[in-house]
A and B are shown apart, each in its own frame.
Chain A
């Protein structure tokens, strides 16, 4: 599903990613862990096509297509969803209106019929219940005045409505209390399927108790220095990132 080869990227002239290799199959959940400044979030943003991040070398194939040649909206339509670490507030844009526009754009792209207002509300109510999202959130402007937890939940809620092939979760757990974390994890787990993959970027092992990954990769200084099973996360929790300071070269799964 996703193949990242020798990915180099920089932001504001500073090189952050220095040769990432990563391969994900359908249905897999991969966790990216690493200390602050290691490049975890940069990797997520490069995947989503953020204009401030410049790819200087390497390639990303998504379902065989060159992701780097696609505009952000083309990536979204192809099935890549980014749950942002800091979702932006958009005053004046109604959440329901926005989400319906986004969903119908995706559906058009997939050759499916657009949903009318009734069908949309039925779908949305179901997903809201699943994620314990308050219905008043729909009539509010996108993320405006939302608490940190509400913003994160709203991201996962959007993902549940848009049903991507690949969900990229950028530190979705940061700033969440344990109850909110469980709700978010439950939402992600409910979406897990043989066709859908997740890339979970996190600083803490805690989230991975609830979203259990198939593989864990450790990113340090712009490179993947360790890859392993979910036990690797526990090891990191115990020992910290210090013992990984010397990169041992990239490893593939």
Chain B
């Protein structure tokens, strides 16, 4: 066993778990650890990881923070906006910080809180969904997370309940523990009952310049006719490693939109797996990523049409500057039963320098015969005619470039229904873009 795996075996024994965890969960963790030790970290020989080497993660000795230093309010403040959200849970190094969290403005019966608290109390939904939606057999990072997650967010919306105000879960890393880069394994489980509706926003951040590792797993289950508007905003430090897996499962006629915004991180891998498990379900996956320097952002998505009459829409866009790299892999599976599937995938990348690159691959696996599936991919640079046109109207080169890049990103941003969230993302994007363009100039 590689040294790095051996150390995590040790860490597992010493890890602090939520009190009162069920023996079932303890067994699941044990199995997950063993699976992780067997699989090990993926290498580029693995097709799923062909363009993304996780060697920098595998080679570091990340430590589990045993006691979380209190994150400072002012570090978290920019991420929060209490008037927008009905509930805000702040997790520091993967553990809930109750003093920083609020959950007052929620309808009756809606549960939002620490997964640890609820697992101890055997809340409905947890035993039947946790570690079932996101299987770890073939996913080492999911296994890693399942073995180690200290806590996470549990969101349960009962049937026929509309949650008007969005729910925000914030995961903040403090960066270092005992002189070693810290790792955290946040977990999110969101269960929406039949005919319910909610919006959930996940935010990830850490101190500027800090090196740390976040490995998150999000499981989402939508009952019949349930509607979810989901956001993942990844604003980690530019030196951080971030691996995230979202698995969502839609019931009959349910509708889920998941927006994935990746503006931070040195090495980032996002997996989104949408399983359309009920007839007439719909899912929309939107993604936007920006990388500069030598950063790498990898987005892998899978939309699994398992039942008939389901629709999926997907648009991913990336902006790459300097020597940054992007990877996009969009798999669409149409199972034999999934007649009348209507799937559309678009993926575009904008390269701002000659050294930036993107590896992009659509993968369609279609086993039904009465389906509509389209995909399109384009990689290009800024339209020089457009740049000149804008300059001929008095805008300088930087303004013209900025405006065009912003327009490119706007195509994804404008699909985000939550305006305050969109504005927040725009702000970060502007800042990052200014940074990327200044470095390029």
Contact between A162 and B394, CB atoms less than 8 A apart: yes
Evaluate whether A72 and B408 lie within 8 angstroms (CB atoms) in the complex, with A102-B394, A105-B394, A162-B394 already known: no
- Contact check: which of B389, B395, B411 meets A105 at CB < 8 Å? B395
- Contact check: which of A72, A87, A92, A105 meets B407 at CB < 8 Å? A92
Q: B386 an interface residue at 8 Å Cβ cutoff?
A: yes
Q: B401: shortest Cβ distance to chain A, in Å? A: 12
Please measure, in the bound complex, the distance between the C-alpha atom of A13 and the C-alpha atom of B255, giving whole angstroms: 57
Q: B384 an interface residue at 8 Å Cβ cutoff?
A: yes
Residues of chain A with a CB closer than 8 A to B408's CB:
92
Q: A106: shortest Cβ distance to chain B, in Å? A: 5
Contact between B384 and A77, CB atoms less than 8 A apart: no
Contact between B407 and A76, CB atoms less than 8 A apart: no
Q: A231: shortest Cβ distance to chain B, in Å? A: 33
Q: A84 an interface residue at 8 Å Cβ cutoff?
A: yes
Q: B319: shortest Cβ distance to chain A, in Å? A: 13
Contact between A90 and B389, CB atoms less than 8 A apart: yes
The 9 closest A-B pairs by CB, nearest first: A92-B407, A102-B393, A72-B391, A76-B394, A105-B394, A73-B391, A88-B385, A93-B407, A88-B389
Contact between B399 and A101, CB atoms less than 8 A apart: yes
Interface string of A93-124 (1 = CB under 8 A from B): 10000110110011001000000000000000
Q: B14 an interface residue at 8 Å Cβ cutoff?
A: no
Residues of chain A with a CB closer than 8 A to B400's CB:
73
Please measure, in the bound complex, the distance between the C-alpha atom of A181 and the C-alpha atom of B365, giving whole angstroms: 54
Q: B403 an interface residue at 8 Å Cβ cutoff?
A: yes
Residues of chain A with a CB closer than 8 A to B396's CB:
71, 73, 105
Interface string of A51-91 (1 = CB under 8 A from B): 10000000000000000000111011100001010011011
Q: Which of chain B's residues has its CB closest to A86's CB?
A: B385
Residues of chain B with a CB closer than 8 A to A98's CB:
390, 393, 403
Q: B305: shortest Cβ distance to chain A, in Å? A: 30
Q: A48 an interface residue at 8 Å Cβ cutoff?
A: yes
Interface string of B395-423 (1 = CB under 8 A from A): 11101100110111011000000000000
Q: A49 an interface residue at 8 Å Cβ cutoff?
A: yes
Please measure, in the bound complex, the distance between the C-alpha atom of A141 and the C-alpha atom of B403, giving whole angstroms: 12
Q: B380: shortest Cβ distance to chain A, in Å? A: 13
- Contact check: which of B394, B399, B407 meets A90 at CB < 8 Å? B407
Residues of chain A with a CB closer than 8 A to B410's CB:
92
Residues of chain B with a CB closer than 8 A to A99's CB:
393
Q: Which of chain B's residues has its CB closest to A108's CB?
A: B394
Contact between A82 and B392, CB atoms less than 8 A apart: yes
Q: A33: shortest Cβ distance to chain B, in Å? A: 23
Within 350-399 of B, Cβ neighbours of A (below 8 Å) are at 383-386, 388-397, 399
Please measure, in the bound complex, the distance between the C-alpha atom of A15 and the C-alpha atom of B396, giving whole angstroms: 29
A-B contact pairs, 8 of them (CB 8 A): A73-B395, A82-B392, A92-B406, A93-B403, A93-B404, A101-B395, A102-B390, A105-B394
Contact between B389 and A92, CB atoms less than 8 A apart: no
Please measure, in the bound complex, the distance between the C-alpha atom of A88 and the C-alpha atom of B404, giving whole angstroms: 13
Please measure, in the bound complex, the distance between the C-alpha atom of A106 and the C-alpha atom of B411, giving whole angstroms: 28
Please measure, in the bound complex, the distance between the C-alpha atom of A198 and the C-alpha atom of B315, giving whole angstroms: 45
Contact between B395 and A90, CB atoms less than 8 A apart: no
Contact between B404 and A49, CB atoms less than 8 A apart: no
Contact between B407 and A102, CB atoms less than 8 A apart: no
Residues of chain B with a CB closer than 8 A to A82's CB:
392
Contact between A162 and B393, CB atoms less than 8 A apart: yes
Q: A50 an interface residue at 8 Å Cβ cutoff?
A: yes
Q: A107: shortest Cβ distance to chain B, in Å? A: 10
Q: Given A72-B388, A91-B411, A98-B390, 18 other A-B contacts at CB below 8 A?
A: A49-B392, A51-B384, A73-B392, A73-B394, A76-B393, A76-B394, A77-B394, A88-B383, A88-B385, A90-B383, A90-B386, A92-B406, A92-B410, A92-B411, A93-B404, A98-B393, A98-B403, A99-B393
Please measure, in the bound complex, the distance between the C-alpha atom of A98 and the C-alpha atom of B383, giving whole angstroms: 16
Q: Which of chain A's residues has its CB closest to B383's CB?
A: A88
Q: B122: shortest Cβ distance to chain A, in Å? A: 50
Residues of chain A with a CB closer than 8 A to B390's CB:
90, 93, 98, 102
Please measure, in the bound complex, the distance between the C-alpha atom of A77 and the C-alpha atom of B394, giving whole angstroms: 6
Interface string of A214-234 (1 = CB under 8 A from B): 000000000000000000000
Residues of chain B with a CB closer than 8 A to A73's CB:
391-397, 400
Q: A202 an interface residue at 8 Å Cβ cutoff?
A: no
Chain B CB within 10 Å — which of A49, A87, A142 has the most? A142
Residues of chain B with a CB closer than 8 A to A109's CB:
394
Q: A42 an interface residue at 8 Å Cβ cutoff?
A: no
Contact between B394 and A106, CB atoms less than 8 A apart: yes
Evaluate whether A84 and B411 lie within 8 angstroms (CB atoms) in the complex, with A71-B397, A90-B404, A98-B403 already known: no
- Contact check: which of B388, B395, B397, B406 meets A102 at CB < 8 Å? B395
Residues of chain B with a CB closer than 8 A to A172's CB:
none
Residues of chain A with a CB closer than 8 A to B399's CB:
101, 105
Residues of chain A with a CB closer than 8 A to B384's CB:
51
Q: Which of chain A's residues has its CB closest to B400's CB?
A: A73
Q: B409: shortest Cβ distance to chain A, in Å? A: 8
Residues of chain A with a CB closer than 8 A to B392's CB:
48-49, 72-73, 75-76, 82, 84
Q: A158 an interface residue at 8 Å Cβ cutoff?
A: yes
Contact between A84 and B389, CB atoms less than 8 A apart: yes
Please measure, in the bound complex, the distance between the C-alpha atom of A105 and the C-alpha atom of B392, giving whole angstroms: 12
Residues of chain A with a CB closer than 8 A to B391's CB:
49, 71-73, 76
Q: A6: shortest Cβ distance to chain B, in Å? A: 25
Contact between A50 and B388, CB atoms less than 8 A apart: yes
Please measure, in the bound complex, the distance between the C-alpha atom of A77 and the C-alpha atom of B404, giving whole angstroms: 20
Chain B CB within 10 Å — which of A76, A93, A142 has the most? A93
Within 27-59 of A, Cβ neighbours of B (below 8 Å) are at 48-51
Residues of chain A with a CB closer than 8 A to B385's CB:
88
Please measure, in the bound complex, the distance between the C-alpha atom of A158 and the C-alpha atom of B392, giving whole angstroms: 11
Q: A76: shortest Cβ distance to chain B, in Å? A: 4
Chain A CB within 10 Å — which of B384, B390, B394, B407 has the most? B394
Residues of chain B with a CB closer than 8 A to A87's CB:
389
Residues of chain B with a CB closer than 8 A to A92's CB:
404, 406-408, 410-411
Please measure, in the bound complex, the distance between the C-alpha atom of A224 and the C-alpha atom of B395, giving whole angstroms: 33
Residues of chain A with a CB closer than 8 A to B403's CB:
93, 98, 101
Contact between B393 and A88, CB atoms less than 8 A apart: no
Residues of chain A with a CB closer than 8 A to B407's CB:
90-93, 141
Q: A71: shortest Cβ distance to chain B, in Å? A: 7
